[in-house]
Amino acid sequence: MRLGLKLFLGYFLIVGLGVYFSLNILGVEIKPAFRQATEETLIDTAHLLAVLARDDLANGSLADGRFQARLAEYARRTPNARVWDIVKNTLDHRVYITDTQGIVLFDSTGQAVGQDYSRWNDVYLTLRGQYGARTTRENPDDERTSVMYVAAPIRDGDRIIGVLTVAKPGSSVQPYVDRAEAQLRRAAAVLVAVSLTVGLAFSWSLARSINRLAAYARAAAEGQRRAVPRNGGPELRALAEAVETMRDRLEGRDYVERYVHTLTHEMKSPLAAIAGAAELLRDALPALQRERFAGLVTGEAERLQQMIERLLALATVEQRRELQEQRPIPLQPTVQELLASRMPIIARKRLRIDQHIPENTVLLGERFLIAQAIGNLLDNALDFSPEQGCITLAAEATSDAWRLTVANTGSALPDYTRDRLFERFYSLPRPDTGRKSTGLGLAFVREVAQLHGGTITVDNVLNAAGKASGVAARLTLPAA
């Protein structure tokens, strides 16, 4: 099971149990709370009515006195009240009065007059000077038919002359209980939904950060360039930086060892040529041969110098994981500067330059690196173009990038070179001189393209007859 799913399920379990127990506790407490509030109100009502009924009970005029008339008037009232969102149109109190023997003398409903209520707790306890109350179900099997009875003594001085009981059915309170429970369920549902959303977002974010770190570690193991993930909190950032440090140290050792072997191998040929020429120059040679060997020494020394400089530039780019800056770079002025610096060779070989770069072509990245990469492509095109040949520079927009094409007329690439063009130190002989370059130009261009999130491809150009008539390099870089 994935870590993100484990975290989400654990969070969901904790929230679910919390909501479940909270609902149970509140659900158990809601009904008693409403009953307690109702009972407290009934106590006040019973004692008030007990005071009002005292005179009629003492005079024996309960059946036709003022107390009975007022209760009859009360029964005829329609409150038409709205308590929050619950409408109340009936009055639910029942009032009955018993004498000191527990016999019902008055009942506002007229149902129990003459009956013996001396065994009911409300009457029994009140006659003995205690607090009398009871809850009785009209239907023993239905909790919703319960009625709450609260009694108060009717006193004449210090003597109890009767008991007045006020009854209120639980069904009149039940709508408020149901409303409170419904609101509680809605609040719990909202809480669960919000909690699940937060938990899902947190789990997804954490899992995403861990997956990015894992992807970065896999890319590092495969030697790919990828920026260090910076999100996911300080702990994951610290872990990512630790992985990056470990990668740099491990790669640094392999990198130095690999480059030392490669550089020493590539330097053998020019050094051997220089040593051989120097040995011959010790002897007395004709001026023409001496000049030729001296030129050989100078040329091989320049080749070594170019190799070292380009190798250092390539090593610098290869060791970078991300761009130092990202700025808009107008492509047309950049190409014009590169062409201007190469005008001597263009003029010497009488080359034609065709440009098809829109003025709105703007790249996003490091100007220095992009200019060097395009310069390397242009140098290759100049080297492999025959005299009076043509070099075409064109740019076309893709979805979120620009594709720059640098094409030259001339001989096509042999098939055996396709898989080795971007290898370090691999180079083809130049048609003009037959000499090879450092073999680092295309490797540098590939590193720059990857550092910018772009691509580089090199392939033959086919003419109308389907035959190769030149080579085109296509560099894709992000648009600004």
Summarize pLDDT for 405-416 with one digit per residue, the tens. 999 998 888 888
Superfamily of domain 323-480: Histidine kinase-like ATPase, C-terminal domain (3.30.565.10)
Summarize pLDDT for 161-178 with one digit per residue, the tens.
Answer: 999 999 999 888 777 777
DSSP H or E stretch at residue 236: helix 233-281
**Predicted confidence band of residue 263 (pLDDT cuts 50, 70, 90):** low
Q: Do the Cβ atoms of 475 and 403 come closer than 8 Å?
A: yes
**Predicted confidence band of residue 119 (pLDDT cuts 50, 70, 90):** very high
Only one residue has tokens 């409403």, namely 34
**Predicted confidence band of residue 255 (pLDDT cuts 50, 70, 90):** very low
CA distance 197 to 22: 20
**DSSP states of 89-126 as a string?**
-S---EEEEE-TTSBEEEETTSSSTT-B-TTSHHHHHH
What are φ and ψ of residue 181, in 5° steps?
-65, -40
Looking at CATH, the fold of the domain delimited by 3-179 is given as: Beta-Lactamase (3.30.450)
Summarize pLDDT for 82-102 with one digit per residue, the tens.
Answer: 877 777 777 888 999 999 999
Please tell me the predicted confidence (pLDDT) of residue 77: 85
Please tell me the predicted confidence (pLDDT) of residue 399: 83
DSSP H or E stretch at residue 461: strand 455-462
User: In the chain, helix, strand, coil percent, each to 5?
Assistant: 55, 20, 25
pLDDT at 257 over 60: no
CA distance 472 to 467: 14
Please tell me the predicted confidence (pLDDT) of residue 252: 47
Q: Where are the domain boundaries for CATH 3.30.450.20 in the chain?
A: 3-179
Kindly state the tokens that stand for 298: 């100078």
Summarize pLDDT for 360-373 with one digit per residue, the tens.
Answer: 899 999 888 888 88
| Three-state SS at 392 | strand
Q: How many Cβ atoms sit within 10 Å of the Cβ of residue 43?
A: 16
- CATH numeric code, 225-322: 1.10.287.130
The mean pLDDT value for 33-60 works out to 90
Q: Where are the domain boundaries for CATH 1.10.287.130 in the chain?
A: 225-322
The mean pLDDT value for 183-204 works out to 78
Category of 247 on φ-ψ map: left (φ > 0), alpha (ψ -120 to 50) or beta: alpha
Beta strands in 138-290 (DSSP E): 146-156, 159-169
**Nearest C-alpha neighbor of 262 from the set 373, 419, 423:** 423
Number of H helices, E strands in the chain: 10, 14
**Predicted confidence band of residue 420 (pLDDT cuts 50, 70, 90):** confident
Q: Where are the domain boundaries for CATH 3.30.565.10 in the chain?
A: 323-480
Average pLDDT taken over every residue of the chain: 81
pLDDT at 442 over 70: yes
Q: Do the Cβ atoms of 456 and 445 come closer than 8 Å?
A: yes
Q: Please report how the helices 174-221 and 233-281 are oriented relative to each other, as an axis angle in degrees rounded to 10.
A: 10
